[in-house]
């Protein structure tokens, strides 16, 4: 999927925008996120995931070919942490199984009555 397909999707589903306006508004979404991240802020999209800027300290790396140590300067990097909702969408069976396991565990706890240490 490319930006063009996202633009088509906005054009078809939101309605009321020309193709050109759809392109501009999708551009506005990504530009806004870019500018926010450039300032060092994070972008949290519930149901999708979080984009977080992390500060990396200077460390010693190594040229993998020569084995020669070289310093890697301190830098800021962008990381993406997918939301649990997105992970569940990608793993429907696993999400279902977990739910069942949790329900079973809760039921066992309710009936089991383990004598606690007190």
Partner 1 sequence: MTKSELIEAVSQRSKITKSRAEMVVNCVFDAMTAALERGEGIEIRGYGSFTVRHYKEYDGRNPRTGKAVSVPEKRLPFFKVGKELKALVNGGTANGEGSSGDDD
Q: Between 30 and 69, how does the x/- string for binding to partner 1 read (CB under 8 A)?
A: xxxxx-xxx-xxxxxxxxxx-x-x----------------
> In this structure, how many other beta carbons lie within 10 angstroms of the beta carbon of residue 22?
21
**Calculated CA dihedral for residues 31, 5, 13, 21, nearest 10 degrees:** 50
How many residues touch partner 1 (CB under 8 A)?
A: 49
Q: Is residue 101 part of the contact set for partner 1 (CB under 8 A)? A: no
Question: Which span sits near partner 1 by CB under 8 A: 6-14, 60-68, 104-112?
Answer: 6-14
Backbone angles phi and psi of 93, in degrees to 5? -65, -40
| Residue ranges in 18-37 that form contacts with partner 1 under rule CB under 8 A | 24-26, 28-34, 36-37
Which letter, b or e, does each residue of 29-39 get, where b requires 16 or more Cβ atoms within 10 Å of its Cβ? Answer: eeeeeeeebee
What is the closest distance, in whole angstroms, from the C-beta atom of residue 53 to partner 1 in the complex?
5
Cβ at position 7, least distance to partner 1 in Å: 9
Of residues 94, 102, 98, 99, the one with CA closest to residue 110: 102
Q: Please give the distance of CA 43 from its chain centroid, rounded to a whole number.
A: 10
Residue 59 is encoded by which pair of tokens?
Answer: 């460390």
Binding positions for partner 1, rule: CB under 8 A = 1-3, 5-6, 9-10, 13-14, 16, 24-26, 28-34, 36-38, 40-49, 51, 53, 75-80, 82, 86-87, 89-91, 94, 97
């Amino acid at each position: 999927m490319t930006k063009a397909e996202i633009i088509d999707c906005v054009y078809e589903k939101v309605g009321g925008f020309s193709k050109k306006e759809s392109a501009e508004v999708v551009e506005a979404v990504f530009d806004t996120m870019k500018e926010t991240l450039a300032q060092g802020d994070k972008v949290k999209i519930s149901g999708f995931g979080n984009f977080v800027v992390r500060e990396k300290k200077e460390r010693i790396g190594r040229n993998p070919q020569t084995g020669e140590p070289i310093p890697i300067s301190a830098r800021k990097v962008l990381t993406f942490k997918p939301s649990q909702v997105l992970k569940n969408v990608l793993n429907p069976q696993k999400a279902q199984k977990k739910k069942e396991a949790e329900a079973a565990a809760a039921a066992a706890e309710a009936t089991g009555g383990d004598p606690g240490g007190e």
